[in-house]
Amino acid sequence: MVKARSLKDLASIKKTLTDQAQYEAAQAAEKRALELREKAERNLFQRAVGQVQPLTPQPRVILTGEPTPPHAFQQKKDDVLVLKESLSDDFDVTTLLDTDDQLSYRRQGIGTDVTQKLRKGHWSLQGQIDLHGLRSDEAREALGQFIKESHKRGWRCIRVIHGKGLGSPGKAPVLKSKVQRWLVQKNEVLAFVQAKASEGGAGALVVLLS
């Protein structure tokens, strides 16, 4: 405690105590005003929102592990169906084939020079499919899919190996004639010729795609 030695000291102490009391009162008033302002803001929000009710929690299913990726089974079935419908075994191809010195086919509007260039290897082979050992339905599906994929890749010249039929009953090249029918029915096929002897001969066709 500070002792006053004179009236002057006593007045100074009194002033100090008065200033401190005023400061504390101001601080308390400011704190009170802040509390009132925050309360008013909370009340304002409650008045604006109105009565609220908590949502009833819904039951949840907890998944374990990664979900199985979907498989496009129906799409695959549709693709197979389209291939089967678009390639008929009953299609008469004999009137469309050129049977000069070697078998060949060219779509309407395609000149004979195209098949001549095809025989001479004007276009490089970009892919091939071997249908050996496949059943008729398997070969038809495989050929249709191969032509579709080749066309998507931008391939112009491909080879289709169908065999000479030496392993067929009666040594008859059944698959060979069917491959010709199937190719003629594909819009992507512009022409085809029998392959050179070094490229399969009578057991293969060189096909030009659009």
Q: Which of 6-15, 57-66, 94-103, 198-207 has the lowest mean pLDDT?
A: 94-103
Read off the pLDDT of residues 80-89 as tens digits, 9 standing for 90 and up. 555 555 565 5
What's the whole-number mean pLDDT along residues 52-73? 73
Q: What is the pLDDT of residue 17?
A: 78
Q: How far apart are CA 13 and CA 3, in angstroms?
A: 9
Question: At residue 29, what are phi and psi to the nearest 5 degrees?
Answer: -65, -40
Determine if the pTM surpasses 0.75: no
**Beta bridge partners of residue 157, listed in sequence order:** 208
Greater confidence, 150 or 80? Answer: 150
Q: How far apart are CA 161 and CA 175, in angstroms?
A: 10
Rounded to 10 deg, the angle between the 136-153 and 174-185 helix axes is 40
Question: At residue 192, what are phi and psi to the nearest 5 degrees?
Answer: -155, 155
Read off the pLDDT of residues 15-36 as tens digits, 9 standing for 90 and up. 777 878 888 888 888 888 888 8
